[in-house]
Amino acid sequence: MLHIQKFVVNMIQENCYILNDETNEAVIIDDGAYYPEEKKAIEQYILNNNLKPVHLLDTHAHFDHIMGNEDLFQKFDLKAEFHENDAYLYDTISLQIQSLLSNKLNVHKVPAGPFIKSNDLISFGNIQLRVIETPGHTPGGVCFYCESEKVLFSGDSLFKQSIGRTDLPGGDGVKLLESLKRNILTLPDETKVFPGHGPSTTIKDEKERNIYFK
């Protein structure tokens, strides 16, 4: 059985998720923790529950989703796994922060792990997550879908009654809508969606209430 723990972190209020099953193997999705107390809370949760992190996954490489990667690399030797089309964003995290926040934050990128692509299967314990490409918010945006549990981690591609912004460098609104309609809205209606910001939703609710799909 899949257990999902959410942490809301950093100045952008980003959702970081830790997933595990009864084997205690775990994956972390989008660790954007910036403040020391956030990093400590995530580390303590892993240690207190005797979890064994085996993957660090990024739905995309915007700074607010990857600021915690350095800490996880140092503590658990986890390298970030993301789509190759976001490699430029990942390599320029400092430029992103200066451009969007007009500020300098003490954030460093860490070595990247293997790139992920459409239909790759990420395994931990008895669980598998399938990579679904949803470019548009960023060139390499992806979602992670667990078919056995009917849950989707959508990053900033799909939100409750909204979609990700596409006005940042590399954004493409047409591509995002096309990829969501083709690859995400075709999932089972009961699929629960855990986005990169804000509350969870379901595929059924988004098909019925999201104005972008009317």
pLDDT, tens digit, for every residue of 48-79?
999 999 999 999 999 999 999 999 999 999 99
Strands across the sheet containing 201-202: 121-124, 127-133, 142-146, 151-155, 192-195, 201-202
Q: What is the domain extent for residue 45?
A: 3-213
Distance CA 126, CA 61 (A): 27
Distance CA 126, CA 21 (A): 7
The confidence score (pLDDT) of residue 124 equals: 98
Those residues with Cβ within 8 angstroms of residue 59's Cβ, 6 or more apart along the chain or in another chain: 29, 30, 65, 82, 141, 142, 143, 144, 153, 154, 155, 156, 157, 196
Task: Identify the band that residue 187 occupies on the pLDDT scale cut at 50, 70 and 90.
Answer: very high
CATH of the domain at 156: 3.60.15.10
Structural domains of the chain, count: 1
Two tokens, residue 100: 């969007």
pLDDT, tens digit, for every residue of 189-202?
999 999 999 999 99
Among residues 171, 166, 147, 158, which one has the least CA distance to residue 199? 158
